[in-house]
A = this chain, B = another copy of it.
């Protein structure tokens, strides 16, 4: 409690003081985790392509992630979100050092919410297409392409995991920020 200085007025009520440093550190770790998740997702998805060994017809059987525009959106969303997370690290670190900071937390919570929505949109859209690739849809005459492209489908399914880890991290981040904002005074 050395560096407190300044506003000691509101301290009387609700100063349990231990989570003062703990919450920002968890915040920082969650951001690192989310970076690993989203960046991993983007890389796994972007490097996905499969060429089938047999090619009986006149078309070459090759599946790439950008055959489906949704996966391009997925990669873009993951890259942008991991970029944002990288930029937010200094601000998060600032919260560890100066635990009374207020404005930086508000900025973070708002951008976190927006980025979570963006990442969720990318992941959910990709998940819908992955589901379709696995199961197909009889009514719409959409075939399950995974019956041909096994390794392709495994990779695009695996790429989703990192994104969903990122979404979970964002929900926890918003939770932490809300708690920190309320404890701050």
Contacts and interface: CB of A to CB of B under 8 A. Distances in A.
Contact of A143 (B123, B125, B142, B178): B142
A106 B182 contact: yes
A75 interface: no
A120 B113 contact: no
Copies in the complex: 2
A185 interface: yes
Contact of A181 (B69, B113, B121, B178): B178
Interface in A117-138: 117, 120-129, 131-133, 137
A167 B9 CA distance: 38
Interface residues of A, number: 52
A171 to B, nearest CB: 6
A140 B178 CA distance: 44
A10 interface: yes
A33 interface: no
Most B C-beta atoms less than 10 A away, residue of A13, A105, A182: A182
A4 interface: no
A7 interface: yes
Given A116-B117, A125-B127, 9 more contacts: A106-B182, A110-B178, A113-B174, A117-B120, A117-B167, A120-B120, A129-B132, A140-B145, A181-B181
The 3 A-B pairs of least Cβ separation, nearest first, read: A185-B185, A125-B128, A10-B10
